[in-house]
Chain A
Amino acid sequence: MTAPSQMDEDADTMWTAVCRYDELLPERGVAALVGEIQVALFRAHDGALFAIGNQDPFTGAWVLSRGIVGTRAERPTVASPLHKQVFDLRTGECLDNQDVAVPVYEVRARAGMVEVRVA
């Protein structure tokens, strides 16, 4: 899943390259620091990229990048490594508590690099 292409021309400067695409292991996350924002980055089994906030909203710890990636029904998910609440990687919604969500960031692969836009 890459960001919509029409964003490329007008906002190219806002994208931050964080690592090589092949540094990401399928179904494992990494944390990236974009400015002062901690982003949890994931590469799904089919190669799609997702970026959400790294903070677990239930405990305050910055650990979501270390959760287990999977699916619930058809939705790609990550489970908090602390208490296992599951979040939708596309929307940031917590699937175990509809009152909670985490931020979602734009992410794309460009020239072998993974780029994130947090603005």
Chain B
Amino acid sequence: MRTDAGRRLVVVGNGMVGQRFVEALRERDVDRGWQVTVLGEESRRCYDRVALSSYFDGVDPDALDLVPDGCYDGRDYVLHLDEAVTAIDRAGRTVTTSNGRAFGYDGLVLATGSYPFVPPVPGADLPGCFVYRTLDDLDAIRAAALHATGRVAVGETDTTGSKATGGGAAPVGLVVGGGLLGLEAARALRLLGLSVHVVEMAPRLMPLQVDGGGGALLRRLVEELGVTVHLGTFAASVAGAAAAREPMSVTLGDGTLLSVDLVVFAAGVRPRDQLARAAGLAVGERGGVLVDAACRTSDPAVFAIGECACVDGRVYGLVAPGYTMATVLADRLVGRAAEFGAADTATKLKLLGVDVASFGDALATADGALEVIVSDPVGGAYAKLVVSDDATTLLGGVLVGDTSKYAALRPLVGRPLPGDPLAILAPSGDGVAVTGSLPADAMVCSCHAVTRDAIDTAIVESDLTTVADIKARTKAGTGCGSCVPMLKTLLAESGVAVSPALCEHFDYSRAQLFDIVRVNQIRTFSELVGEYGRGRGCDICKPVVASVLASLGNGHVLDGEQAALQDTNDAFLANIQRNGTYSVVPRVPGGEITPAKLIAIGEVARDFRLYTKITGGQRIDLLGARVEQLPAIWRRLVDAGFESGHAYGKALRTVKSCVGSTWCRYGVGDSVALAIELELRYRGIRSPHKIKAGVSGCARECSEARGKDIGVIATENGWNLYVGGNGGFRPRHADLLLTDVDTETLVRTIDRFIVFYIRTADRLQRTSSWVESLSAGNGGDHVDGLAYLRSVLVDDTLGIAAELDAAIRRHVASYEDEWAAVLDDPERLRRFTSFVNAPDTPDPSITFITERDQPRPVPLPAPSRGVPGAGPTVLAVPAVPAARGADDLTGTAGGADGDEPARAAVAVGDAPAPDAFR
């Protein structure tokens, strides 16, 4: 093993470009010619700065993390955080750090990025003024916003200004800068509930990317969202609050006076070249460490990449050119030839909910460039193509409002136009959807420099069938994600068809079957499989059809033919355990339970010798019930006022709650009352998978609502609704869908969310992956999927809201307790027997021992499963002695003949306890 043979490479900065460089080097430097030490000044390792505002959208900071598992092994690749480089000693080839340590290097990579430019405005250094660059900045902004929200909410001093700007009770934030960064910051402030002003010196928003026409539309769309835009002026001065709890005032260059609670400077960035300057490295005229096309500085042992570098006299403030530099340098360091050429500064963003894209020569600066513009102010779309003077070559373009053509157009920059420019831009124009026109070497993913050819090859050679496969294999689509639609198209063109078929009996997906059953009013499995399937079904399709029939209101789940479709859990309304016994979970809505009911559960458990455990869903699990005991157990529970908890079903499980404002000194909402209301509303509803919900009485989130499919958190102004959370196998925090809504709006939206999920999700698809699949189906952008969901559930863009509402009304009206209904019906009760010819005889294989004062199952002897290659082995049936029959402890409970099970159970309770549980 090599110990110190590798040359020492020190990387200054663990931002997006620094990290990309490390990954690119790792891939290339397979024999570990370099030993890499990365020094990052932030306490957090590399995260997605481009998606920073999603932090306020409910995205966990960990979800922004960009460091792959195992990237830093602590040996060849070492990462030190919280350690800024303070000086470079080029002669001694050493850097020193804020921790007083020194690191020697053979090669040094500067990836120090940039810092926010704060214009020299008097007062810009006051408390309440922020920049927008790091997660720490965002935390500070959030703290100030919450403080301001509190101030306004308690109504102590809501003076002139914020009212004058139409903000009502909301606190006010001012963003200085109307470019990419400024609009991102504006979005972040809006997510924090602030009323937002944006001031931009240029005569239009996004002046670097968008032309006058696009800028005008952009302004209109942004203002429709309630953002006030001030163009052609600037923040002239900031005056601090006259007293604590008072707003600040900002004077604009045109004399406008704004009363604001906080100011965010997002007026662009400047390269962080101070280290390099101090070390005597050459820098550009307007800043940035001067590098050549190989990213080498004036010192051949020192390199610079990303926003701190100045290449060809230009500094790039976008991530894609930085990534290209990272790749070029990694190639160079392993001896390959690579050069940084013309950078792709194409941009596609959703800013404040408005889609904006710009690519190539967007501002038509080339000699003789022609502009073809389609402007639809009514529909809110603006599109421009910049073409060469002979109108044959695409040079660039701007898209505002509708960027669906971006993925297809961007790779064509510098290439022949695929058709008539007007036809391409027409709203229905499909001229560019034809990727057949895309040359093999066209860059489909510019973030990762993946060409069409590379993707086509990967699809064929590695048998890729999904976009996720392509992402994993080629990295295409894992950067900004804008090329994901293109990946789908390429996949489709390669002839890969992904079958939606549920199983061998149906060629349809669950969602399709749902529609078939609903539209054709099919009531039975036989009817459905006869007309739309084949065979007699299986353990995959039958429970799906059972769930669909139940969702559409077809009576008790054990009625008629439905009984034969149910999984054993639904068939016996209990959860099967490893020894063939069942667990029983009565519903405890919201986790609230009276002492009398607690005692009743305790008595049932004691009398039937059941193992008891508190569940994570705030109820009590009773385990070890034999199938023939279930009716007697439930007779007792129903008599004590309990009903089925549906722990056995793909159905609503629990709505967990904290104690809420009734008792908790921090609570701002009555979480228990709402949890009970929700649990009673949705109890028994059948769904593609289980649904869990939670309600927290304040942002401390003691009920862990954001780990649920449906999470509600009380706010000072109402409720926040989160959807798509999950614990379990693949944990995921729920996404914020609604903010500060009243109870009626909240419940209505949850109603629609549940029914929409039930109707459109795949079999066994939890809401978390369903919500993600909505994103994938709507541009691949996480935010897009949520926006889509919001548009369907709140704005009713699909026109199905009335139908969804009606479905919940039907559900609520037709709800009955499944267990009470079984107890009242001798025909249903008859199925809860051990043996059809010996209903009083328990399964003799089920035995228990005592552990920690409770019963636990005796492990079953593992049956021999035969010798491989020796042909099937028919198992001999072990001679398990027959049960002791009627004198057995609980053998008589729940007979098939309609005896009153309750009486039998009482007798059981009076029986003396044996040493070992049966």
**Would A70 and B536 be within 8 Å (CB), given that A26-B561, A59-B860, A60-B860 are in contact?**
yes
Tell me the number of A-to-B contacts counted with CB atoms below 8 Å. 156
**A106 lies within 8 A of chain B by Cβ:** no
Q: Does any Cβ of B come within 8 Å of A49's Cβ?
A: no
Q: Using Cβ atoms and an 8 Å threshold, which residues of chain B touch A86?
A: 538-539
A59, B578: Cβ atoms closer than 8 Å:
yes
| A31/B836 in contact, CB under 8 A | yes
Closest-CB distance, A27 to chain B (whole angstroms): 4
Chain A residue numbers with a CB within 8 Å of B616 are: none
Cα-based distance from A74 to B526 in the complex (angstroms): 16
CB of A50 to closest CB in B, whole Å: 13
CB of A68 within 8 A of CB of B542, answer: yes
Nearest CB to that of A17 among chain B residues?
B837
Nearest CB in chain B: distance from A44 CB, A: 8
Query: Counting CB contacts under 8 A, is B813 at the interface?
Result: no
In the complex, which of the residues A23, A38, A92 contacts B874, with contact meaning CB atoms closer than 8 Å? Answer: A92
Are A71 and B535 CB-contacts (below 8 A) given A32-B837, A53-B875, A99-B873? Answer: yes
Question: What chain B residues lie within 8 Å of A32 (beta carbons)?
Answer: 835-838
Note all chain B residues with C-beta closer than 8 A to A41: 836
Q: How far is the CB of B837 from chain A (nearest CB, A)?
A: 4
In angstroms, Cα B540 to Cα A71, docked, is 11
Say if the beta carbon of B812 comes within 8 Å of chain A: no
Name the contact of B879 in the complex, choosing from A36, A57, A71, A81 (C-beta under 8 A): A36
Given contacts A27-B564, A60-B860, A103-B875, contact A66 B571 (CB under 8 A): yes
Q: Which of B538, B869, B873 contacts A68 (CB 8 A)?
A: B538
Residues of the B chain whose Cβ atoms lie less than 8 Å from the Cβ of A62: 580, 843, 845
Indicate if the CB atoms of A33 and B539 lie closer than 8 Å: no
Whether A33 and B564, one on each chain, are in contact in the complex, defined by CB atoms closer than 8 angstroms, is no
Q: Is the CB of A81 within 8 A of B563?
A: no
The smallest beta-carbon distance between B161 and chain A, in angstroms, is 65
Residues of B with C-beta under 8 A to A98: 872
Q: CA separation between A104 and B865, bound complex, in Å?
A: 16
Contact with A along B122-139 (1 / 0, CB 8 A): 000000000000000000
* A60 & B862 in contact (Cβ 8 Å cutoff): yes
A77 to B565, CA, bound (A): 14
Contact, CB under 8 Å: A58 / B543: no
- Known A-B contacts A27-B564, A70-B536; the reply to A57 vs B863 at CB < 8 A is yes
A114: min CB distance to chain B, Å: 9
CB nearest to B536 among chain A residues? A71
- In the complex, the answer to whether A18 meets B837 with C-beta atoms within 8 Å is yes
B572: interface (CB < 8 Å): yes
Restricting to A70-119, which residues have a CB under 8 Å from any CB of B? 70-74, 76-77, 79, 81-82, 84, 86, 92-94, 97-104
The one of A19, A28, A92 that contacts B564, using a Cβ cutoff of 8 Å: A28
Contacts of B824 in A (CB 8 A): none
Q: A18-B836, A68-B542, A101-B872 are in contact. Are A27 and B536 (CB under 8 A)?
A: yes
Mark B857-901 against chain A: 1 for CB-CB distance below 8 A, else 0.
000111101111111111101011110000000000000000000
Given A32-B836, A41-B836, A70-B536, residue A60 in contact with residue B863 (CB < 8 A): yes
How far is A41 from B838 in the complex, measured between Cα atoms in Å? 14
Residues of A within 8 A of B836 (CB): 18-19, 23, 30-32, 41
Task: Kindly state whether residue A25 has any CB partner on chain B within 8 Å.
Answer: yes
Shortest Cβ gap from A113 to chain B (Å): 10
Known: A100-B866, A101-B872. A68 touches B877 (CB 8 A): no
Indicate if the CB atoms of A63 and B526 lie closer than 8 Å. no
CA distance A37 to B526 in the complex (A): 33
B878 (CB) vs chain A CBs: closest residue: A55
A45 / chain B contacts, CB cutoff of 8 Å:
526, 536
Cα A68 to Cα B567 with chains together (Å): 6
Asked if residues B580 and A61 are in contact (CB atoms below 8 Å), the reply is yes
- Residues in B with CB closer than 8 Å to A34 are 837
Q: Are A28 and B542 in contact (CB under 8 A)?
A: no
Cα–Cα distance between A12 and B907 once the two chains are bound (Å): 41
- Chain B residues, Cβ within 8 Å of A38: 835, 843, 877
Q: Is the CB of B539 within 8 A of A67?
A: yes
Q: What is B's interface to A at a CB cutoff of 8 Å? A: 504-505, 526, 535-539, 541-543, 561, 563-568, 571-572, 576, 578-580, 627, 830-831, 833-838, 841, 843, 845, 860-863, 865-875, 877, 879-882
Pick 26 A–B contacts, CB within 8 A, sort by A. Answer: A18-B836, A25-B564, A26-B564, A28-B563, A28-B831, A30-B835, A30-B836, A31-B834, A32-B835, A33-B837, A36-B877, A38-B877, A55-B877, A58-B865, A63-B576, A66-B576, A70-B505, A71-B505, A72-B535, A79-B539, A81-B568, A81-B576, A99-B868, A99-B873, A100-B873, A103-B875
A residues adjacent to B (C-beta < 8 A): 18-19, 23, 25-28, 30-34, 36-38, 41, 44-45, 53, 55, 57-63, 66-74, 76-77, 79, 81-82, 84, 86, 92-94, 97-104
